[in-house]
Amino acid sequence: MSAVQRANTWEISDSENESDEIKPSSCVILDQDASINESNTSPSARAEEDGADGVKISSKRRRRTREEEELQTRKAARDKRREEKEKLKEKKLQEQQRRKEAAERLNLLKPENFIKSLTAHIHAVLLKDAGCDVLLRTLDGFQWRNRIENQGLTNSISWTRQALQVTSSSDCCFCTLEAEDEAENGVIEEDQVLMVISHDEFEDMVMSHKTVTNQSLLVHLQLYWNVAVHFLFGWQEVTDHVVALTKALSKRPYKVLCSDPDLGFCMDGSWSAGVRVDRDGRGLAQVWTRQIQQLNRVSPAMAKAVTSAYPSPSLLLKAYEELPSEEERRRLLADLTVVGGAKERRVGPELAGRIHRLLTSQNPHLLLD
């Protein structure tokens, strides 16, 4: 019985081995079933799966396209900002160059610089008089250019000047008050001619006017022929008159520029730099003085007389308010004394009225002159 029982035990172990051998085959069958299931899948199901994959791919493409558009938009905006920045920088450089050229032109038109371009032409006949040496020595002492010539009007002294130039990055800009066609070889003739003659020669020239007085004749010459006659004694007075005329010619272009109504501030040092005002108020008095100088035909001495009496616009406005009548307000500054010059001068009612209109008028289109 026991032997039979052992045999049964071994049979059980054999069956276990057989079951182990069957397991791999069952796995193969499962794989085969899966392949069969795949082969048995309908075309519509495969199409649905392919469609799902296509949706995923298209969504990725849309997302990528949207990102590319955003990148392009940001790049375009960045390029536009860069271009605007470059244009602004170029415009700023051009403005700086324009201000620099304007400052150079103004500097050349200042009397102390403009007089260097003037040349006094002295007729050779005047050298026959020994007293003419005083004139030549004086001109050489000032280091002014002069030439001795046989051309032109006899016994005359005339002036010419070089056409001033301001060199820019592009071309040369002529800084002349006349048209360019009036300049011959860069030389411009001034309209002032001084003729030096003796008293006897002058009487010989006006013998036909014995019926009129000398004073009437001088007025006639000045009004109808633009000829001014000065009676001088000796070459020293002639020399002083020539020096005064030369200085007046050197100041004329700057005065014409200052009286130009299209220009604002045209005072010394204010063309490009202006007036510096500190936080403590230093510099405001100079600004107030230059504000008065903006008006036409106002010299620095006249502006200084006004700002010395009333150091600020508010003080002047307060003084206007204290006066009872409009006429008294207009004439408030008329009697202020202008310091400087050989003769005593006053501000005058004309400038006083213009300053009053400047500070009290409510009409922005009102002409002060």
Task: Give tens-digit pLDDT for 35-44.
Answer: 444 445 555 5
Residues 122 and 172 occupy one common structural domain: yes
Q: Is the pLDDT of residue 195 over 70?
A: yes
Whether 142 and 190 map to the same domain: the answer is yes
Q: Which domain holds residue 162?
A: 109-206+213-258
**Positive or negative: CA dihedral 23, 29, 33, 39:** positive
Say yes or no: 250 and 141 in one domain: yes
Above 50 in pLDDT, residue 181? no
222 inside domain = yes
Predicted pLDDT of residue 179: 41
Mean pLDDT rounded to a whole number for the chain: 76
pLDDT given for residue 259 in this prediction? 65
pLDDT beyond 70 at 93: yes
Any idea what the Cα angle at residue 317 is, between residues 339 and 329, rounded to 5°? 75
Asked whether residue 20 is assigned to any structural domain, the reply reads no
How many of the other CB atoms lie within 10 Å of CB of 326? Answer: 11
Q: Residue 161: beta bridge partners?
A: 118, 188
Same domain, yes or no: 306 and 251? no
Q: Report pLDDT digits (tens) over 313-340.
A: 999 999 999 999 999 999 999 989 888 7
Please give the pLDDT value at position 210: 54
Task: Tell me, yes or no, whether 35 lies in a domain.
Answer: no
Q: Please tell me whether residues 351 and 234 are part of one structural domain.
A: no
Same domain for 217 and 157: yes
What CATH number does the domain containing 228 carry?
Answer: 3.40.50
Q: Does residue 311 sit in the same domain as residue 217?
A: no
Q: 234 with 317, same domain?
A: no
| Separation of alpha carbons 344 and 338, rounded Å | 7
Contacts of residue 368, Cβ cutoff 8 Å, sequence gap at least 6: 295, 354, 357, 358
Nearest to 360 by CA among 310, 326, 311: 326
One domain for residues 300 and 226? no
188 φ/ψ angles, rounded to the nearest 5 degrees: -120, 130
Rounding to the nearest 10 degrees, give the CA dihedral for residues 140, 144, 149, 152.
-140
Residues 293, 222 share a domain:
no
The CATH number that applies at residue 290 is 1.10.150.670
- Give the confidence band of 9 by pLDDT, cuts at 50, 70, 90: very low
Residue 349 is assigned to a structural domain of this protein: yes
- Burial environment of residue 352 by CB neighbours within 10 A (0 to 12, 13 to 18, 19 or more): buried
In a domain, 324, yes or no: yes
Same domain, 169 and 217: yes
CA–CA distance, 368 with 354 (Å, rounded to integer): 6
Note the pLDDT of residue 152.
81
Q: What is the mean pLDDT of residues 8-12?
A: 47
What's residue 18's pLDDT?
46
**What span, in angstroms and rounded, lies between the C-alpha atoms of 83 and 80?**
5
Instruction: Assess whether pLDDT exceeds 90 at residue 151.
Output: no
In the chain, the number of structural domains is 2
pLDDT at 49: 55
Query: Would residue 290 count as lying in a domain?
Result: yes
Instruction: Say yes or no: 189 and 243 in one domain.
Output: yes
Q: What is the pLDDT of residues 12-34, one digit of tens each?
A: 444 444 444 444 444 444 444 44
Cα–Cα separations (whole angstroms), residue 340 to 256, 266, 346 = 22, 21, 11
Domain assignment of residue 332, yes or no: yes
Establish if 93 belongs to a structural domain: no
